[in-house]
Amino acid sequence: MSILLSASTCTVESEQGEHLFKILDHSLHRGMGVGHYIQSSCFAVGGHDWCIRYYPDGRDGPTEDNKDAITLVLELVEMDPNEDQARVSCTISFFDWRTKRFSSLVAFTEKFSNSDCLVSRTIDRATVEASDYVVDDRLTLKCTMTVIKDPYVMEDHIEVPPSDITEQLGKLLDAKEGADVTFEVQGEELPAHKLVLAMRSPVFKALLYGPMKEKDSNRVIIDDMQPAIFKVLLHFIYTDSLPPKMDDDLEGDDKKEVTRHLLVAADRYAMERLKLMCENILCKDLDAESVATVLALADQHSCSGLKDACIRFIASCTKIDDVVASRGYIQLKRSCPDSVMEMWEKACKLRKI
């Protein structure tokens, strides 16, 4: 039993950004009053616009807990129109002039929406002013943000284009580049490549590389075959397909004739796939005039499938007299009388069933 394996990965897209907010004359901002603030410029992270608000005297009215407080606010100024919320991980750090490093005082993870655009955090003023964060009346903040998109699942695969090796080999045949053997077929010269031919046909392999190879293996004369048929044979050897022109340019008896000759060539060079393709074409286009000829061909070249198709056609034919009167039937009787009688008996038995 075969097992189909597949895989997928859940991942999340995120974007990180940083913004430095420098506050000069820090002491002069104190006394602005509760709810008053200074604001950084806008900065974009994750497709949204943000800014930092700094409240020197706190954002809310003084209480016992926040009367000496500073409030920091991260504000979502404008949201990406294609989204309805933003999930954010944020850290606001203060620059320590003694260590020359940023120290994190505020960190949070929040989910923003258009109706909830502010997140505030309160810190003790004495913690800021009595430290090395304010030097020469300067304070520097750094806001480090990561905007996290919705998770999504992706299939683990890479798109692989279909193989084009037969197309490339077809171009090699057409271009004749690197050809090392020439076939002479009824006076017409057809260049090809020995290695490709030997790879596809054991007969060509023996002819070009075996102990019985021709003395001049770079030039081979092909007898008893039309150039057009040998061209189709070469096309199939290189591309593993029949040329489109067989369907486009040939119809009816012409196509049958070419296919019969091609079957003979396929059998001659031991190309079983091509031979079966020809059998398939012929068995689909049998008629009273041609069935006897095809039957003789099937018998001579050991095409069992095509032979059976001919017998079934004869057994079901309503015009058996036309089959007997055909030229192909007369030739069949002359060339292989024993075989035709055997097959004729099979057909007759099937007609009686």
Looking up residue 226, the CATH number of its domain turns out to be: 3.30.710.10
- State which of 246, 263, 284 marks the end of a domain: 284
Question: Structural domain of residue 128, as residue ranges?
Answer: 11-151
Domain count for the chain, please give it.
3
pLDDT for the residue numbered 215: 67
- Assigned domain for 173 exists: no
pLDDT at 309 over 60: yes
Euclidean distance between CA atoms 287 and 305, whole angstroms: 17
Give yes or no: residues 90 and 194 share one domain: no
CB contact at 8 A, 203 and 275: no
User: Which residues are registered as beta bridge partners of 116?
Assistant: 113
CB contact at 8 A, 317 and 288: yes
One-letter amino acid at 235 equals: H
One-letter amino acid at 80 equals: D
Give yes or no: residues 244 and 262 share one domain: yes
- Assigned domain for 68 exists: yes
- Assigned domain for 40 exists: yes
Give yes or no: residues 344 and 238 share one domain: no
Q: In the structure, what pLDDT confidence band is assigned to residue 25 with cuts at 50, 70 and 90?
A: very high
Q: 144-164, pLDDT tens digit by residue?
A: 999 988 777 777 777 888 899
- Assigned domain for 174 exists: no
CATH number at residue 97: 2.60.210.10
Lowest average pLDDT, out of 3-7, 9-13, 144-148, 346-350, goes to 346-350
Q: What is the DSSP string of 277-306?
A: HHHHHHHTT--TTTHHHHHHHHHHTT-HHH
Give yes or no: residues 318 and 271 share one domain: no
Query: Crossing angle for the helix pair 291-300 and 337-352, nearest 10 degrees?
Result: 120
Give yes or no: residues 100 and 191 share one domain: no
Give yes or no: residues 27 and 52 share one domain: yes
- Assigned domain for 164 exists: no
Q: Name every residue whose Cβ is closer than 8 Å to that of residue 268 and which is 6 or more positions away in sequence.
A: 203
- State which of 284, 304, 319 marks the end of a domain: 284
Euclidean distance between CA atoms 267 and 136, whole angstroms: 98
- Assigned domain for 338 exists: yes
CATH number at residue 291: 1.25.40.420
Give yes or no: residues 61 and 140 share one domain: yes
CA 29 from chain centre, in angstroms, equals 62
pLDDT for the residue numbered 111: 87
- Assigned domain for 163 exists: no
**Which pTM was predicted?**
0.56
Q: 200-223, pLDDT tens digit by residue?
A: 999 999 999 988 676 667 899 999
Give yes or no: residues 90 and 145 share one domain: yes
Helix (H, G, I), strand (E, B) or coil at 87: strand
